[in-house]
Amino acid sequence: MESSTPDHADHHAANNNNKKPRNNPNLITTSDHLRHVESMATMPSGAGNISHPNAVILGESLASEENDLVFPSDHFSRQAHVSSPQQYLEMYKRSIEDPAGFWSDIAATFFWKQKWGQPVYSENLDVRKGDIRIEWFRGGITNICYNCLDTNVEAGLGDKIAFYWEGNELGVDATLTYTQLLHNVCQLANYLKDVGVKKGDAVVVYLPMLMELPITMLACARIGAVHSVVFAGFSAESLAQRIVDCKPKVVITCNAVKRGSKVIHLKDIVDAALIESSQSGVSVDVCLTYENQLAMKRESTKWLEGRDVWWQDVIPKYPTTCAVDWVDAEDPLFLLYTSGSTGKPKGVLHTTGGYMVYAATTFKYAFDYSSSDIYWCTADCGWITGHSYVTYGPLLNGATAVLYEGAPNYPDPGRCWDVVDKYKVTIFYTAPTLVRSLMRDSDKYVTRYSRKSLRVLGSVGEPINPSAWRFSSLLLSDSKASLHTQKEWFFNVVGDSKCPISDTWWQTETGGFMITPLPGAWPQKPGSATFPFFGVQAVIVDEKGVEIEGECSGYLCVKSSWPGAFRTLYGDHERYETTYFKPFPGYYFSGDGCSRDKDGYHWLTGRVDDVINVSGHRIGTAEVESALVSHPQCAEAAVVGIEHEVKGQGIYAFVTLVEGVPYSEELRKSLVLAVRKQIGAFAAPDRIHWAPGLPKTRSGKIMRRILRKIASRQLDELGDTSTLAEPNVVDQLIALADV
């Protein structure tokens, strides 16, 4: 994937001293643990003579399908927190060789009622040596809500906007300053204490993206309660499972929400969940309900006297100050249940101190955040992204963030860019699936808006294929643009070819970014998560758990702990050890496959349980999906494995076409050929299933469990589809099964 241009290389060598030639005598000498990042002290191999078609500099030219490298501009790099590979290497080297000192220096910038003791961290990641244990800053007494709000107000940021809130309907909006947010949080915290919520108690939160959602998270944190946010799209059954598992003192919800033109009756879902959980022996005495008048009036809301309480009737009566409950760094902060399709959900438990330090630090560096930025992450707080990079990470940095209640394509596909222009958003963080869905519509929905404020784009949730990456600059073509031009959409169109893309890899379990570009530090390769964040020892191992050197593919693991790591699965430490640490003793196993190229760049290939074994060839579904999406008439693809009497497993591809392109047998053959050309004949899909849309949660996650059932014609085993953004997509896919 490497190639290059004398013009661009010479330009960079002359004008950007961040890029060191390979014979640089000042090159950092590295020890063993740096062997796969030390290449960043030089240009990527072959990049000494980068030919014009194969490298671009941000802001100077467009990225195309042939580009291998996208360089930060000199202007961007000079102002970045990490401005060169050399600076990254120096910081990374210290973070690995002296993690206690590195993270202590960062932790010291936060408020601690009492400093942590020694050692700074302790760990055992090897099941052969006893129970798995990770601790950071044990003995340190702090409070994350205090660090998010009080310290910012005390620093003079009380009048700064903490949140812009954009409602579902055009023209409906609100703001909260840091002082106002603190007052709202204190009122709710006082109420929770008044109804008996104590330090360590759980509170289940089933709210849409109203400002009351982060308010509730922060109020729980202020009094040491453990919040468990459940995405307000899960079914009553799924919600009940989570209530039964963590046994909350209070459930907080709202009566209804409008998402696009649809009204979702959240209180009805909660009522059904509370009935179901009580039948399992877990009763909840208080259901605090916010009246969302824009969606439903209180008189239309079903009500149970004695249990149900209107938020607006009680919370405003409480004082706007509330004493902080100081907690140990290792006290629990929140539970977040992973959305497993079957069996008991996994309650990922994060603690306070290490998570606070890690979420804040990753936010600052991966987005190159500065105090003048306006930040918008499109994720819901029901997912880890909404915890780390909607609520805690931004507020810990004193940032101004946008919260959006509605659907990204309501009332039309230009809504995202309308919001960007309205609030002058500079950092835009979203999922590749949203990018791909918006790409299907006319460019006029993008180009009618300026988007000139955008500075950094971010990607989360799945491996972003190179075509979608290049679309990350969403803005240079008109409505008559060719399909090929549309394939350059996110980079060239949205970001005007000037915005670096932080294509981040991380997980609910990791708490924050693990492998991510630092936007001003090094050239990016579209589709690669690039290099590990500070303190993260990412390794690739084979089936036997042996680390693989150099250019390779295998299982992505992490050696040694980091502050943001989760500490256990709630109530099931044995499952925690079995799932994450037994597969490869001595390592945290991510469950993901990964390739590392000759320059040390990391390429995520998807979940290893999304690996298809075709006649002995292990094929990552993400790899096949990326090849399909490279076809100019394919907007999106999802691949699953099916039983095959000859090959063991066959490849079954659901393909969404660019708007207006008709289904045809010729196109089907062309798509298969695209995979054969990019990967090989062994990876060619056995079946192309036309898909007007894919079954996705409202956060954009593709529900591959449902696709597997459709592909296998196990239509009576589809399970719960209530979490889908568009449940009718399932019926459409079934109807097209034989087309």
| pLDDT digit string, tens, across residues 85-128 | 999 999 999 999 999 999 999 999 999 999 999 999 999 999 99
Specify the higher pLDDT residue, 474 or 156.
156
Please indicate whether residue 720 is annotated as part of the active site.
Answer: no
- Helix H segments across 137-209? 144-145, 151-152, 178-194
pLDDT at residue 486 above 90? Answer: no
β-strand partners of 649: 643
Assess if CATH 3.40.50.980 describes domain 180-325.
yes
Q: What is the pTM of this model?
A: 0.83
**How large is the C-alpha radius of gyration of the chain?**
25
pLDDT > 90: percent of the chain: 67
pLDDT at residue 330 above 70? Answer: yes
Q: Which CATH architecture has domain 615-736?
A: 2-Layer Sandwich (3.30)
> Which structure tokens are listed for 13?
């060598």
Query: What is the C-alpha to C-alpha distance for residues 501 and 488, in angstroms, rounded to an integer?
Result: 14
What pLDDT is stored for residue 45 in this prediction? 40
Q: What is the mean pLDDT of residues 699-715?
A: 87
Query: What is the C-alpha to C-alpha distance for residues 622 and 553, in angstroms, rounded to an integer?
Result: 14
For 185-225, write each residue's pLDDT tens digit: 999 999 999 999 999 999 999 999 999 999 999 999 999 99
Question: Matching CATH topology for 180-325 and 615-736?
Answer: no
* 27-36, 399-408, 678-687: range with highest mean pLDDT: 399-408
The distance in angstroms from the start CA to the end CA of the chain is 36
For 530-540, write each residue's pLDDT tens digit: 999 999 999 99
Of 651, 575, 585, 655, the closest CA to residue 619 belongs to 651
- Answer yes or no: are the C-beta atoms of 614 and 683 closer than 8 Å: yes
- Answer yes or no: are the C-beta atoms of 34 and 93 closer than 8 Å: yes
Q: Which of the four pLDDT bands, split at 50, 70 and 90, describes residue 8?
A: very low
For 140-166, write each residue's pLDDT tens digit: 999 999 999 999 999 999 999 999 999
Q: Write down the domain spans for the chain.
A: 180-325, 615-736
Query: What is the C-alpha to C-alpha distance for residues 503 and 521, in angstroms, rounded to an integer?
Result: 14
Q: Which of the four pLDDT bands, split at 50, 70 and 90, describes residue 23?
A: very low
For 500-510, write each residue's pLDDT tens digit: 888 899 999 99
For 221-230, write each residue's pLDDT tens digit: 999 999 999 9
What pLDDT is stored for residue 447 in this prediction? 86
Catalytic residue among 609, 610, 720, 731: 609
Q: Which of the four pLDDT bands, split at 50, 70 and 90, describes residue 727?
A: confident
Q: Which of the four pLDDT bands, split at 50, 70 and 90, describes residue 30?
A: very low
Secondary-structure breakdown of the chain: helix, strand, coil percentages, each rounded to the nearest 5: 35, 25, 45
> Which structure tokens are listed for 9?
């290389």
Q: What is the mean pLDDT of residues 338-363?
A: 84
Taking CA atoms, 126 is separated from 130, 370, 585, in Å, by 7, 39, 5
Query: What is the C-alpha to C-alpha distance for residues 683 and 303, in angstroms, rounded to an integer?
Result: 55
pLDDT at residue 485 above 70? Answer: no
Give the Cα-Cα-Cα angle 109, 110, 115 (nearest 5 degrees).
Answer: 100
What pLDDT is stored for residue 467 in this prediction? 63
What pLDDT is stored for residue 670 in this prediction? 96
Query: What is the C-alpha to C-alpha distance for residues 577 and 579, in angstroms, rounded to an integer?
Result: 6
**For 424-464, what is the HEC assignment?**
CCCEEEECHHHHHHHHCCCCHHHHCCCCCCCCEEEECCCCC
pLDDT > 70: percent of the chain: 85
Q: Which of the four pLDDT bands, split at 50, 70 and 90, describes residue 41?
A: low
Q: Which of the four pLDDT bands, split at 50, 70 and 90, describes residue 234?
A: confident
DSSP string, 189-250: HHHHHHTT--TT-EEEEE--SSTHHHHHHHHHHHTT-EEEE--TTS-HHHHHHHHHHH--SE
